[in-house]
Structures are given as C-alpha cells and as structure tokens.
C-alpha cells in the first residue's frame, strides 16, 4: 500500500515537474473566459459584415445564402441520388424517402477513394473521376436508365444564386484541383456527365455539408435550425432572417446561411491569439493565409499543430532526447484519430508510448507525459474557440427573435466531434458559459450529408413543379 502511494506520489511529482518546464510554451494556448468572450464578440462583428450589402464583398466570414428557405415538413417523397464530396470519404448514395404516416428514409451507399493526385490535379480529371464513381454505383444498383434527381453535397464555399448553381469561391481542406475556382460546380458536374455519355441525371441542388446536417436533424426534430461540422474542416449554418441577409432580395421569412466560419481571422482579427505554431501550420498548408480559424480548430490541422509544438520542444531539448527524427519532420503523421487515442482517459502512459512507437517516435515515460499534455492543450483550445463561434450564432438567433431565452437544437456531424474523447464536452460547456440565455441541445446526425442532400433535392423538385404549374 505504502509502496503504491509512494509510486503515485513519485508520478505526480514527475508529471508536475515535466509540465512546469514546458508550460511557458503552451501558456499562450490557454484562453481565459475573457479572451473567449472577446473571440465571440469579434465573431459576431464578422457575421454582420458578411450579411451586410456594402461589407459582404470584403467580409472574411462569407455568410453565403443557400436558397434553402425552410426545414423539411415530412411531405418529402421519392428516390434520389446524392453525392458527398469534401469530408473524410467520397460517397455516392441512393436515398429513398417516403412521406405519410409511416415516413421513412432508406439509404444505400458506396464509398470511393479520391486519390490525392485527383484532388490536386485538373478540374476535368476530378469531375470525370466523380462521374466514373457514379457510373459504377448505378451499375451496382442496376439503375442506369432512371434519370434520377440528384443532390450534390459539395463541402466547400460556394456563391449560390439558386438552389442548383454554386460558384466555387476557393478550395479548402486538402483539395486544389485546377480550373474550378470561379466556376459553377453544378455545370462542371453536368459537363462531365455529358462527356461520359452513359447516363443522364437531373442535378437539382448543391448543398453544403452543414446544411445537409441541419436538414437531416430537422427532419426528426423541428427545433433544429443550426448545423455544425467539426471534422476534417469546421463550419456552421443556421436559419437567418431574410431581412438581415442584405445580399439576397426579399424580406420575408428565413433562409439558411452557410457561414463558412473557417475563414474567420483571415483579415488578421485573430492574430493576437494565434501562436508561432499556428503560423507554421498555415505556412505549410495548401492555402496559406486562408481558413485561419479552421486551422486552429478542425481535425485536418490539430495534429499538425501538435507536431509543430513537439518539434519546437524537441529543439529546446525537452523531448525525444533533443533529436528531431525524420518521422517528426513528416507532415500529417499525427492524424486526429491518434490525438483521440492519446487523450483517452483510459490509456496508461505505457500505451501512449506504444502509440508513439507506432508512429515511429521512440519516447521515454517523460516524453509521453509531455505529448499527452500538448495534445490536450491543442484540442481544448480548439473546442473552446469552436464553442465561442457557436455561442455567437445562437445568441444572434435569440436576438433576431427578440427573446430573453432561446431553446434551440444544433445538428452536429464530424469525426472530431464524434470520436475525440473530450472535444464535444468542452465545446458544449463553452457554448453554455458564453451564451447563458440559450438552452442548446446537440443532436448527432447520422449520415447527414447524404440524407440532407436528398431532402433538399426533394423540396427543390416540389418547388419546381409548383413553379411549372404557375406558368
């Protein structure tokens, strides 16, 4: 017993000792309540800029109109094809929606790889590859002659002028195919389908993944008027009052706005809280200077921030016996799933060392204590600033509606949110603290992107029929 106590004491001492040494390097990543409140207020200002007629062109948080004007009402019906591009996987789906008393959604899907040379090759190659996958899927389902309506979940910023037109503003995350930025991606898809000359499809809607997520959750829970993705990328959408969206004509009702919040900070407004590690990650990325907030809080970059800190601490002699190995120099070694594993409470230090070993990093016990602390600090900061963004959103909705108190549901998807052991808890706690007048329920979306695209396509088809009848 005494021996066990001594051992525990020894470990706590050892841990505190190690952590004290590196604290000064992690200090600037630990935010006070006041800083978080400040981030939330800045966020609110950038939202207003994105919505305003005169300020929207130069705004960093783009607040893009989606032409989705209402959540589903249960009357959606039919068979739809959906594509999901821009998340962890590329998928093609067949979604069968049935309305009425026994409403249901049935889905069949297939995952396809998009090789990195296609993600970063020419636009034509990318869209030909997508159509090749659709062709394979239609063969697999035996549906090549059906001319189905299609919803395209395309998880990148697009300037929409209608439900079925979206000009790509800029690629984000790992994509960089040429000749797509500034083009209508629906047209690029239609052209590629024509080139293939094998089947016809009716492209009805282009959908951001946040919007698909919101719609999927709203189908089950009508108080869901916000969508959040905390995964490879980070972004949110919500139902905004038409009268506040000065970039679209009309003042009646609401429209869903794809915020593209990942670009928050691209005008320098977060520079005081960004660290040298954030800058290094940015400089190493495909889109330097862009998506600065996303680079602080999404799955694609958290591991890279950790790697930059570990390199610095190694250089200073606190880690890995001062030796920077080839592994540590390798971009992308720390995938989010490793962060999740390392930070798991159930994991003993020995197991942390085993994971590092798997990554090719030969660590001591002291090293593993430090690595775990670095991971925890980086993911905690991510969850907190993501929470500050969400708090700004729900509080704006509350003010829009002139309420002292708002009950609202947020539909959520994304690997970081779903798989990380602490992210969702810290995120939710931050929202609660920063927006005390809002009661927010978080609803996990199952397959949001595909199902949501189909629901939006169903609404789009119905609208089209109505318009045809009126003419």
Q: Which residues bind ligand GLC (CB under 6 A)?
A: 86-87, 155-157, 172-173, 208-210, 229, 231, 233-235, 260, 262, 294
Output 164 or 373, the one with its CB closest to ligand GLC.
164
Question: Does the annotation count 155 as an active-site position?
Answer: yes
Q: 405 burial class (0-12, 13-18, 19+ CB within 10 angstroms)?
A: exposed
In this structure, what are the phi and psi dihedrals at residue 429, rounded to the nearest 5 degrees? -65, -40
Q: How far is the CB of 384 from ligand GLC (least distance, A)?
A: 18
Output 127 or 320, the one with its CB closest to ligand GLC.
127
Token duo for residue 199:
């089947």
- Kind plus residue range of the DSSP H or E element containing 18: helix 2-26
Beta bridge partner(s), residue 149:
202
Using Cβ positions, the residue closest to ligand GLC within the complex turns out to be: 233
Contact residues for 306 (Cβ-Cβ < 8 A; gap 6+):
334, 339, 371, 374, 375, 378
Output 210 or 409, the one with its CB closest to ligand GLC.
210
Q: How far is the CB of 178 from ligand GLC (least distance, A)?
A: 18
Token duo for residue 21:
């040494």
Question: Does the annotation count 285 as an active-site position?
Answer: no
Q: How far is the CB of 164 from ligand GLC (least distance, A)?
A: 17
What DSSP string describes 135-201?
Answer: HHHHHHHT-TT---EEEEEE-S-EEEEETTEEEE----TT---BT-TTSBHHHHHHHHHHHHTS---
Q: What's the rounded Cα separation, in Å, for the pair 148 and 143?
A: 9
Q: How far is the CB of 171 from ligand GLC (least distance, A)?
A: 8
- Kind plus residue range of the DSSP H or E element containing 439: strand 438-444
Output 208 or 428, the one with its CB closest to ligand GLC.
208
Pick left, alpha or beta for residue 51 (phi over 0 → left; psi -120 to 50 → alpha; otherwise beta): alpha
Token duo for residue 362:
């030969």
Q: The dihedral of CA 156, 161, 162, 166: what is its sign?
A: negative
Q: Interior CA angle at 9 toward 5 and 12, to 5°?
A: 140
Q: How far is the CB of 334 from ligand GLC (least distance, A)?
A: 19
Q: How far is the CB of 294 from ligand GLC (least distance, A)?
A: 5
Contact residues for 252 (Cβ-Cβ < 8 A; gap 6+):
242
- Per this entry, what is the length of the chain? 471
Output 209 or 447, the one with its CB closest to ligand GLC.
209
Q: Which of 44, 84, 91, 184 is catalytic?
A: 91
- Kind plus residue range of the DSSP H or E element containing 203: strand 202-207
Output 72 or 86, the one with its CB closest to ligand GLC.
86
Q: How far is the CB of 269 from ligand GLC (least distance, A)?
A: 17
Pairing of strands 165-168, 104-112: unpaired
Give the residue among 266, 259, 213, 208 at the shortest CA–CA distance from 236.
259
Q: What share of the chain is helix, strand, coil (3-state, %, to 5)?
A: 50, 20, 35
Q: Which of 84, 155, 398, 449 is catalytic?
A: 155
Output 317 or 332, the one with its CB closest to ligand GLC.
332
Output 91 or 398, the one with its CB closest to ligand GLC.
91
Q: Which of 209, 278, 282, 447 is catalytic?
A: 209
Question: Does the annotation count 98 as an active-site position?
Answer: no
For 470, the 3-state DSSP assignment is helix
Q: How far is the CB of 365 from ligand GLC (least distance, A)?
A: 38
Helices (H), 27-79: 33-51
Report the catalytic residues.
91, 155, 209
């Amino acid at each position: 017993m005494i021996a066990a106590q001594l051992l525990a004491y020894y470990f706590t001492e050892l841990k505190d000792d190690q952590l004290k040494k590196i604290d000064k390097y992690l200090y600037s990543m630990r935010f006070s309540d006041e800083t978080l409140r400040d981030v939330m207020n800045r966020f609110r200002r950038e939202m207003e800029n994105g919505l305003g007629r005169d300020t929207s062109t130069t705004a960093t948080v783009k607040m893009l109109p989606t032409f989705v004007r209402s959540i589903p009402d249960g009357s959606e019906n039919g068979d739809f094809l959906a594509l999901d591009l821009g998340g962890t996987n590329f998928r093609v789906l067949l979604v069968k929606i049935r309305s009425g008393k026994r409403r249901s959604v049935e889905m069949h899907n297939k995952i396809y790889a998009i090789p990195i040379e296609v993600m970063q090759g020419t636009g034509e190659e990318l869209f030909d590859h997508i159509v090749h996958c659709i062709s394979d899927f239609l063969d697999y389902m035996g549906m090549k002659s059906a001319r189905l309506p299609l919803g395209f979940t395309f998880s990148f910023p697009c300037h929409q002028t209608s439900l079925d037109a979206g000009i790509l503003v800029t690629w984000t995350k790992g994509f960089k195919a040429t000749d797509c930025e500034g083009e209508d991606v629906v047209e690029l898809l239609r052209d590629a389908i024509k080139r293939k000359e094998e089947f016809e499809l009716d492209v009805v809607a282009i959908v951001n993944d946040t919007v698909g997520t919101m719609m999927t959750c709203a189908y089950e829970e009508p108080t869901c008027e916000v969508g959040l993705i905390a995964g490879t990328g980070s972004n949110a959408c919500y139902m905004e009052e038409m009268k506040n969206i000065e970039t679209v004509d009309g003042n009646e009702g609401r429209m869903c706005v794809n915020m593209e919040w990942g670009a928050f900070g691209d005008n320098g407004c977060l520079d005081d809280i960004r660290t040298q590690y954030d800058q290094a990650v940015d400089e190493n990325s495909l889109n330097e200077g862009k998506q600065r907030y996303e680079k602080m809080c999404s799955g694609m970059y958290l591991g890279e921030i950790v790697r930059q800190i570990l390199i610095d601490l190694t250089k200073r002699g606190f880690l890995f016996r001062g030796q920077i190995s080839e592994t540590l120099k390798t971009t992308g070694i720390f995938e989010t799933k490793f962060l999740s594993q390392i930070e798991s409470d159930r994991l003993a230090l020995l197991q942390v060392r085993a994971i590092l070993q798997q990554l090719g990093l030969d660590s001591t016990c002291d090293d593993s204590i430090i690595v775990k602390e670095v991971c925890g600090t980086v993911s905690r900061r991510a969850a907190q600033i993501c929470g500050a963004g969400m708090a700004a959103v729900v509080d704006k909705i509350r003010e829009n509606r002139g309420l002292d108190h708002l009950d609202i549901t947020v539909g959520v998807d994304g690997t970081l949110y779903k798989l990380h052991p602490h992210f969702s808890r810290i995120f939710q706690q931050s929202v609660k603290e920063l927006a005390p007048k809002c009661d927010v329920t978080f609803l996990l979306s199952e397959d949001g992107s595909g199902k949501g695209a189909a629901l939006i396509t169903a609404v789009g088809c119905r609208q089209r029929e109505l318009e045809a009848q009126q003419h």
